[in-house]
Amino acid sequence: MYYDDDELDGALLALPLEPLPDGLRASIMSAVAVLPRPILTVWETVGVGVILALATWLSLLFVSSGNGAGSWFAAALDLLGRFLVSPATLVWVAVGLGAALCLSLASIPRRAPAKS
């Protein structure tokens, strides 16, 4: 039984230990570290962007045409905009974003596949 930290440190340093194997740190880091992967590939992101751009262009073309359907569409967009900017909707968006942030910070990372 040791009552002195210096004596215990000396005893631990006097132990005959084997040298660490080469690549030990790299193998531990590869087993523990998880590299984040993007949700969408580059082509999927480009595709979503193109679809959104076309939808925006078509809706603006439809609204600016001046016929009855365009004015109905403009009124529907106005109503949707008023709904999306209402305080209740903004509170729910804030709650959802907060929950997503908490879950992303508290989630358990996946382990990298074991190398054999």
Question: What would the pLDDT profile of 30-46 be if each residue is shown by its tens digit?
Answer: 888 777 777 888 889 89
**36-50, 70-84, 96-110: range with highest mean pLDDT:** 36-50
Its pTM stands at: 0.34
Query: What Cα–Cα distance (Å) separates residue 96 from each residue in 79, 85, 93, 106, 107?
Result: 23, 15, 5, 15, 16
Give the pLDDT confidence score for residue 29 in this predicted structure. Answer: 84
Residue type, 105: L
**46-50, 63-67, 109-113: range with highest mean pLDDT:** 46-50
CA distance 36 to 57: 34
As to burial, measured by CB atoms within 10 angstroms (0-12 exposed, 13-18 middle, 19+ buried), residue 26 is: exposed
Q: What does 4-27 look like in DSSP terms, one character per residue?
A: -HHHHHHHHHTS-PPPPPTTHHHH
* CA 74 to the chain's CA centroid: 35
Give the pLDDT confidence score for residue 84 in this predicted structure. Answer: 76
CA distance 68 to 22: 76
Helices 68-84, 42-63: inter-axial angle, 10-degree rounding: 120
Q: CB within 8 A of 69, min separation 6: which ones? A: 62
Domain ranges for the chain:
23-106
